[in-house]
Structure 1
Amino acid sequence: MRKIIVLYCLIMASVVYSQNTMSVSSPDGELILNVLVKSGQPVYSVTYKGGIVLEDSPLGLITNAGDFTANMNFVSSATAKVEENYNQTKIKQSQVSYKANALNCVFSNAKEQKIAVLFQVSNNNIAFRYEIPSWGDTKVCVVTEEKTGFSFSSSTTTFLSPMMRPMTGFARTAPSYESGYEADLPLDKATSSEGYVFPGLFHLGDKAWVLLSETGVSSLYTGSHLSKFKDGLFTVEYPNPKQNNGFGSSGAQISLPGVTPWRTITVGETLKPIVETTIPFDVVKPLYKPSQEYKTGRGSWSWIVWQDNSMNYDDQVKYIDLAAAMKFEYILIDAWWDERIGYEKMKELIQYAKSKNVEVFLWYNSNGTANDAFQTPLHKMNTTIARKNEMKWLKEAGVKGLKVDFFGGDKQETMKLYEDILSDANDYGLMIIFHGTTLPRGWEKMYPNFVGSEAVLASEMLIFSQDVREKEAYFASLHPFIRNAVGSMEFGGVLLNKFLNKGNQKGQERLTTDAFQLATAVLFQNPVQMFGLTPNNLQDVPAFELDFLKTVPTTWDETVFIDGYPGKYTVIARRNNQKWYVAGVNAEKTAKVLKLKLPMLAGQTINIYNDKVDKETYTTSVKVSKKGDLTITIQPNGGFVLTN
């Protein structure tokens, strides 16, 4: 059941008063946004609980039909109240009540062309977008540049992931949002030549935490990112023209009237509003209805540890049996299946999986023209005719979902491909996971069959890189505050082999504990989770760990920040129905003793999965005090989970 209420009250003002400040505050009055025209430039600023969060920051667009960044005048403004109650099972909170105060500011340029900026301010969150009318006979335009900026105080530190250079990396598939993060970096050190991906986290000392991102990007616009820090601020940047092998505009071609995606700002004294925000979904709408009910859940996949050589019929039978033994809903069969198993044998394999109550996801290469990725199936997803022919076969064969890989770009051309794949897949009852991909920007709500994106330095790099293995706990302690705070994150984790290869005897040694891995099953939110277990784990992993994974959910009704500092440690709680899971990891070099406040578990006897000093994982039961207090120790590179 969804209720939307928008009440507008028009407030007219003449150009004579263009220097006046227009303001809008959150319903609780603590977050205030101010807008004014300063020397012909529209700017906005943000305060929270009386402290400055963003200093005067520029607004404006440049289009091929007009410049809206200079010589601007204020025309009018309108205020509104916005309310929406909605249900969404694929994000961190299943029932959301969104209430915001809105301010729509209209400006005109020297040619007397108008443009508006719509701001919506809810408690701890700001979302804003540009609204572009038609100008006389001009019914289309190309937005070539955006001047939206974010001006922080000089003492601010950053938690950012660099945008990858285009046409670099594996088979020239970058950017794929697979860079690491640098924590607490001073502003003047944020100088990556390609800028930084959304979202970006900022710490204003003891004043506030700020998370910047964008949402609502569809086929009608380009994806954007943050610039490097220059001239005292970060700005919104459109894709590097060299993405997609130089093909396609880096700007956005839109019909008029039209709108941009939303830019979002989440603010809090603590990290609680950052972890718990739903703003990426509050301001977007579903773009089509689901063709059927889609079932989320867990899955096995052979490629992550057993790699390409496992793409054969017999090994996939072993992984189907693993999924069945673990009561997983799915198996993901990865690259090369079309060549090494074949379409006819795949039908047999799908039927075998069904006999075990396991459904199938199949991997596809998105590429046809954009990069050099060569894994097959290839040339099946990049054109409408090939895609629909393939999806017809997939539906007839009984496949339930696809993992589509190797996109490498944020241009409107690529955003259209994402949407076309999703829309066509819905027609055939298929769920979609994207890999080698961009950040999902509100897609869980916009596209009902979307069930996750990678867009993170994920589990495969634990296989390939010693440096990433050494930083696994460090990155895990960051994700709930940054990447996973704004969208589903298909990490592909929970690796319980001691060595991350098929032999499990030597080689890529896992440096985190089993309890750490169990914690990530809760810590990382994605409605369909493909776990990195291997068939030998049924014999070489303690039964209590497997029992935990047999019942751990992948969808949540509530998410609560408990404790943490990005890059050091994190503890969050998630609820599925009436059952709570509290998970934490420690990225520091020494054991960490935490005194947790857990009011949701007050007075209860709970199960705990934790590590001993020697890193051996154990389980026991403990009693939470009637006040909800519990002291727990997390070992370095370790973790814990509590359940009631």
Structure 2
Amino acid sequence: MNLLLTGTLLAGLLTAPATPTPTATWTVKAPAGGPVATVHLDSQGSPSVAVSRGGASVLAPSPLGVTTEQADLTTGLSLTGRSSRAVVEKYTTTAGKRLDRLSVMNETRFRFARGDAKLDLVVRAARDGVAYRYELPGAGAVLGEASAFTVPAGSTAWLAGHRRDYENPFIQYADVPPAEYQMPALFGVGQNYLLLAESALNGSYTGPHLVSDQGTYKIALWDARVPYDHGLTTPWRVMVTGDLATVTESTLVDDLAPGSQLTDTSWIKPGKVLWSWLAGGRPVQQSLESQKEFVDYAAQHRWPYVLVDAGWYDDPVTGERAWTDRTAEFTWIPQLVEYGRARGVGIMVWLRFSDFDTHDKRVQRFGLLHQWGVKGVKLDFIDSEAQERLQWYDGTLRDLADNQLMVNFHGSTVPKGINRTWPQVMTMEGVHGAEKSSNLTTSHLAALPYTRNEIGSMDYTPMAFQRPSRPTSDAHELALSVVFESGLTNLAGSLEAYRARPEAERFLDQVPTVWDETRLLSGKPADHTVMARRSGDRWFIGAGVSGAARTLQVPTGFLRGRWLVEVTRDGAAGLVREPHVVQGGALAVDVPAEGGFAAIACRWRPGLTTCAR
């Protein structure tokens, strides 16, 4: 449910001729402290924005404006009006860092004109960052943005090269080479961090990426021409800033997104998913008997879902890898759904984008899946942020909701507030994840909580214990079930690998996939993460390091009173579980190179020896 409380404080209507005005500067301040956005209009009528926090520069003056087919709205602008308001929103989500949200922002709207052409710049400032967007009236086409981000010199960067499916690794840079990079992008700026991101992208616009040049990161658009017919509101350009905990725990990207399009979300149920692709590939996806084994395991451990991946609807006669008129005839998915239903396990299925690329296909095929009783789908190989593909997302999200199907998008864009607007979106790929057989490093894993996973649920697919190529220790891998957030967590282990690790099974049986609260206890991008997430009256802690063995000092002051903390860590002969009773202070945990630990904390009482329920 969304509750919007808006207080509008008119700052006065300013009038000016449609010629450049003298240099002028305005500020937009976050409520109760936080960053300050400074909007400047120079003597040529070119606007810019800068961001500071605690008096320190976080973003140097950076250009603003758009170019349309009708006018160049990057220069020659005059301010014709300005108004301010407070925006306070309470809402709930179905996934994410915390389910209940409160957003408080100050907003200023700047009305610019150049002759008859008009451009509104809307700037918001919140405790955890600053954002802006443009609004244009009438009809026309955008040809590009002047929007860019000038990061102060000497900043450290954690960036991933631009790729249409967002599946490149994050790399730490002291000096960033000229190249194209994806958003989100993270920078260490003095004592602060700055995350560049986007919110509220849909089919009315087109996707962005960053082009770097000597500390400035310009927005480049996917489409060279973006038409609009009835006015245009662009996505938000988001700058999350603060200390590392503030940035990591921020929900600003969601806060800026439109409210939910659904009135009934009772059918949306996040949870753990037993996923067999990395345990056997296509042959396992084509075997009813193999999938029944996975259902039996899920039922034994009370994991709510099994996902059948690519291959299940390949034609058994022709080998055609596409949905055909015969798919409903030969598939055994309805049998598996019934088998799972009898055991309390829901079935999800993989789908290829090209088989669902029109509304008519989706109506018929989503309807059939719903009729069978399928709970959700994994839609793959979307591979574009062009305006026409974003319009496909818009239609597909409505069609999925009409058929009560949860969705995990793969080969896709990344979350940009999508779960707030469409609560059935449980997770998205858009990550260099566990499926990669090369160039998967713990330094990349230790950058993800502050970059890709900061902006929304991430389908990394952890727990592939059977893969010799994974860079993590067993305890580090187990910790990823907490370190990484995903409304549907696709767990990639083989049944044999799970059974060989009873302490991993014990932990995974208890860990949830949605959270009431998230806290970063300790961290440094590309070096280590210690993340705590609360579900009800228990806390789950996950930690992973990149590089050498060390002793992690885990602060426990957030646990008020006396608590039992059960730590599962790497031992000489495998995973071991150790209980600790803590009351404030720090808990020291030794971890090996590339190692980590997973823990459960519950309030201690006399005689309590375990947090298990």
Verify same fold: TM over 0.5: yes
Residue 301 (structure 1) aligned to one of 272, 275, 281: 275
- Which residue number in structure 2 is paired with residue 181 of structure 1? 170
What letter matches 1:547 in structure 2?
R
Distance 1:53 1:495 in 2: 39
Match of 1:19 among 5, 16, 23: 23
User: Structure 1: which amino acid aligns with 2:123?
Assistant: F
Report what 1:529 is aligned to. 489
Which one-letter code corresponds to 1:182 in the other structure?
I
Is the alpha carbon distance of 1:409 and 1:615 closer, same or farther for their aligned partners in structure 2, counting shifts above 3 Å? Answer: farther
- 2:534 is matched with which residue? 575
Alignment deviations for residues 446-482 of structure 1 (CA, whole Å, 9 cap, x no partner): 1121111000001111xx32x32xx1x2222111111
Contact 2:93/2:423 (8 A) holds in 1: no
Tell me which amino acid in the other structure corresponds to 1:622: H
Task: Give the aligned residue type for 2:256.
Answer: V
Asked whether the 8 Å contact 2:499–2:505 carries over to 1, the reply is: no
Name 1:6's counterpart in structure 2. 6
Determine if the alignment matches structure 1 residue 338 to structure 2 residue 313.
Answer: yes
What is the alpha-carbon distance in structure 2 between the residues aligned to residue 275 and residue 529 of structure 1?
19
Q: Contact 1:615–1:635 (CA<8 Å) still a contact in 2?
A: no
Change (3 A) 1:434 1:264: same
Indicate conservation of the 8 Å contact 2:530/2:554, yes or no: no
Output one character per residue of 1:568-593: Cα deviation in whole Å (capped at 9) or x when no partner: 10111101111101111010223243
Change (3 A) 1:399 1:316: same
Match of 2:187 among 202, 214, 232: 202
Distance 1:584 1:615 in 2: 20
**Alignment map for 1:148-547 (pairs within 5 Å):** 148-164=147-163, 175-186=164-175, 189-192=176-179, 195-205=180-190, 207-230=191-214, 232-239=215-222, 249-268=223-242, 270-286=243-259, 288-293=261-266, 294-311=268-285, 312-339=287-314, 343=328, 344-367=331-354, 379=355, 381-461=356-436, 464-465=437-438, 467-468=439-440, 471=441, 473-497=442-466, 500=467, 508-541=468-501, 543-547=502-506
- Are 2:110 and 1:105 aligned? yes
Equivalent residues of 1:222, 1:415 under 8 A apart: yes
How far apart are 1:27 and its partner, in Å? 0.8
RMSD value over aligned CA atoms?
1.8
Deviations 1:522-575 (A, max 9, x none): 11101111101212135322x222111112100001111111101110111101
Structure 1: stretches of 5+ with no match in the other structure: 135-139, 165-174, 240-248, 368-378, 501-507
| Cα separation, 2, equivalents of 1:615 and 1:117 | 60
1:50 deviation in Å? 0.6
1:126 to 2:126 alignment? no
Cα displacement (A) at 1:326: 2.2
Aligned to 2:97: 92
TM-aligned CA distance change 1:213 to 1:292, over 3 Å: closer
Give unpaired runs (5+ residues) of structure 2: 317-326, 602-613
In 1, the alpha carbon distance for the partners of 2:508 and 2:34 equals 42
Percent identical residues: 25
Question: How far apart, CA to CA, are the structure 1 residues paired with 2:49 and 2:454?
Answer: 25
Task: Work out the CA distance in 2 between the residues paired with 1:548 and 1:606.
Answer: 13
Counterpart residue number, 1:69? 74
C-alpha distance in structure 1 between counterparts of 2:162 and 2:56, whole Å: 31
Residues 511/208 of structure 1: CA separation in 2 closer, same or farther (3 Å cut): closer
Structure 1 residue 31 corresponds to structure 2 residue 14? no
d(CA) in 2 for partners of 1:388 and 1:88? 26
| Distance in 1 separating the partners of 2:391 and 2:578 | 50
How many residue pairs align between the two structures?
582
Q: 1:622 aligns with which of 569, 575, 580?
A: 580
C-alpha separation between the residues in 2 aligned to 1:292 and 1:53? 39
Q: Which residue of 1 aligns with 2:121?
A: 117
Whole-angstrom distance in 2 between the partners of 1:185 and 1:486: 23
Does structure 2 conserve the Cα–Cα contact (< 8 Å) formed by 1:291 and 1:427?
Answer: no
Q: Distance in 2 between matches of 1:399 and 1:159?
A: 39
**Cα distance in 2, alignment partners of residues 510 and 426 from structure 1:** 36
Q: Does 1:78 align with 2:92?
A: no
Give the CA deviation at 1:291: 4.9
Which amino acid in structure 2 is aligned with residue 15 of structure 1?
A
The 8 Å contact of residues 465 and 493 in structure 2, kept in 1 or not, is answered as yes
Mean Cα displacement is larger for which, 66-75 or 56-65? 66-75
C-alpha distance in structure 1 between counterparts of 2:332 and 2:241, whole Å: 53
Distance 2:490 2:341 in 1: 18
CA distance in 2 between partners of 1:352 and 1:58 (Å): 59
Identify if the C-alpha distance between structure 1 residues 160 and 582 changes in structure 2 by more than 3 Å, giving closer, same or farther. Answer: same
Cα distance between partner residues in 2 of 1:309 and 1:348: 18
The corresponding residue for 1:591 is 550
Look up the SS of the partner of 1:600 in the other structure: coil
Q: Does 1:611 align with 2:570?
A: yes
Farther-moved stretch of structure 1 (211-220 vs 31-40): 31-40
* Structure 1 stretch displaced more, 12-21 or 519-528: 12-21
Q: How far has the Cα of 1:302 moved from its partner? A: 1.3
Q: Is the 8 A contact 2:434 2:470 kept in 1?
A: no
1:272 is matched by which residue type in structure 2? A
Partners of 2:172 and 2:489 lie apart in 1 by 27
My pick for the range that moved more, 28-37 or 118-127, is 28-37
SS at match of 1:307: helix
Distance 1:515 1:53 in 2: 36
C-alpha displacement at 1:284, in angstroms? Answer: 1.6
How many angstroms does 1:628 deviate by?
Answer: 3.9
Q: Secondary structure at the match of 2:153?
A: coil
Amino acid at match of 1:623: V
Q: 2:47 aligns with which of 42, 45, 50?
A: 42
Distance in 2 of aligned mates of 1:578 and 1:250:
51
Distance 1:115 1:633, change over 3 A: same
Give, in whole Å, the separation in 2 of the partners of 1:261 and 1:61: 13
Write the distance in 2 (CA, Å) between the matches of 1:356 and 1:595: 40
Shift in Å, 1:632: 2.1
CA deviation after TM superposition for structure 1 residue 353, in Å: 1.4
Q: State the one-letter code of the partner of 1:531.
A: L
Question: Taking structure 1 as reference, are residues 178 and 446 closer, same or farther at Cα in structure 2, changes over 3 Å only?
Answer: same
